[in-house]
Every structure is written in structure tokens, then in C-alpha cells.
């Protein structure tokens, strides 16, 4: 079975909707971005992100130095993966997660959509600090998810997890109106 077929056969959990996923994304500001290095190896790094306005296609934005490894990798290969932990209660439980594959692109620091996303978020202090320290080297990275987002433990109670571990996984489709054209799993 191909990886794409496996992904598409993941369960849809009606309790986990796109609205649930987007709300969790907006409550968070930390995740792990994985890019592909020059020699085809994965490279992961923790990042702080902001989310596009609800009136725009769904995208995450990070600010970084144009010389960073993630920026160089994205310049060569736009394919990325992103994972964000979703803390659960009690805190002794491992976190849930939201994860997706998608594409990334470098956008200038003058990009209004990226600036609005950061200015509307709690992490705007990071943007200001980055600009104060090295504005001339700063860039935004826009991360666009493919049409399918996967979760584990999002919206699942401890009781449900203990009763049916597999039931904690979900596949959520992003509404077409919230996607940029051309995003989706490869076929």
C-alpha cells in the first residue's frame, strides 16, 4: 500500500472538525518545522508561528534569518512537514498533536498578510525582536498545509484514549475555500 493510500485511509473522526483544528492552531504558537536538506535528509527545527486571518487561505508564518538552514532548504525544496504539540490535562499525559505536510515559500518582510498575522498574534514580540536585531536579514516563511491535516489526542478525553487508543487519531480535510490553489496530497 502506498503512503498516499495509507494517509487517505486514515479515519475521519466527526468529533474533530476543521474548526476544532484551526482553533487549536490559533491557541498555540510553537511547532516543529521539517524541511529537506540539500542531500535529501530531513532537517527539523522548532519555530514560533502566527496564523493567517480567518478570511484568508490557511497558512502559518514564521520569521527567520534568510541565511538559516530552514530558509536555504526551502529555497531548494518547498516540501515541508509541520507538527504542533497540543497539551492535554492532566499534564502528565503526553501531548496530543496536529500534523500536516505542505509547502513553504520565502516571502519578504514587507508581505502584508504575514505582518498582519504576526501583529494579530501573541508572538508579535518575536517579530519585533527579530526586526530590531537584524531586519535586513529577516524573511517570512509562509507554510501552506496540504488539504489533509492529521491529529492525535485532539478532542479526545482520557477515558476515550484508555478505551480505544486508535480512536484518538483523526484525519481532517481543510475546506477548499481555505486552501490556496494547488495544495493537496500528491497522487
User: What pLDDT, in 10s, does the model give residues 137-173?
Assistant: 889 999 999 999 999 888 766 666 666 666 678 899 9
The answer on pLDDT for 176 being more than 90 is yes
* More confident site: 56 or 93: 56
CB 111 within 8 A of CB 127: no
- Please tell me the distance from the alpha carbon of residue 140 to that of residue 66, in angstroms, as a whole number: 9
All structural domains of the chain: 3-178 (2.30.110.10)
pLDDT exceeds cutoff 90 at 101: yes
More confident call, 13 vs 70: 70
The tens digit of pLDDT for each residue in 34-83 reads 999 999 999 999 999 999 999 999 999 999 999 999 999 999 999 999 99
pTM for the full model? 0.84
C-alpha closest to that of 117 among 46, 174, 60 = 60
pLDDT of residue 13: 73
Q: Compute the distance between CA of residue 86 and CA of residue 109 in angstroms, rounded to an integer.
A: 29
Q: Band the pLDDT of 14: cuts 50, 70, 90.
A: confident
pLDDT at 159: 65
pLDDT of residue 4: 46
Amino acid at each position: 500500500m502506498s503512503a498516499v493510500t495509507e494517509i487517505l485511509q486514515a479515519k475521519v473522526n466527526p468529533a474533530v472538525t476543521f474548526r476544532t483544528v484551526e482553533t487549536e492552531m490559533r491557541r498555540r504558537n510553537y511547532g516543529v518545522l521539517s524541511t529537506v536538506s540539500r542531500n535529501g535528509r530531513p532537517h527539523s527545527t522548532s519555530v514560533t508561528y502566527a496564523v493567517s486571518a480567518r478570511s484568508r487561505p490557511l497558512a502559518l508564518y514564521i520569521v527567520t534569518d534568510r541565511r538559516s538552514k530552514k530558509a536555504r532548504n526551502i529555497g531548494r525544496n518547498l516540501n515541508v512537514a509541520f507538527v504542533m504539540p497540543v497539551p492535554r490535562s492532566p499534564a502528565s499525559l503526553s501531548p496530543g498533536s496536529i500534523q500536516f505536510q505542505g509547502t513553504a515559500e520565502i516571502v519578504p518582510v514587507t508581505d502584508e498578510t504575514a505582518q498582519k498575522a504576526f501583529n494579530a498574534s501573541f508572538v508579535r514580540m518575536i517579530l519585533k525582536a527579530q526586526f530590531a536585531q537584524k531586519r535586513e536579514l529577516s524573511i517570512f516563511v509562509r507554510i501552506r498545509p496540504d488539504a489533509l491535516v492529521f491529529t492525535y489526542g485532539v478532542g479526545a478525553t482520557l477515558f476515550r484514549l484508555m478505551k480505544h487508543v486508535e480512536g484518538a487519531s483523526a484525519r481532517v480535510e481543510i475546506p477548499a475555500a481555505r486552501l490556496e490553489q494547488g495544495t493537496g496530497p500528491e497522487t
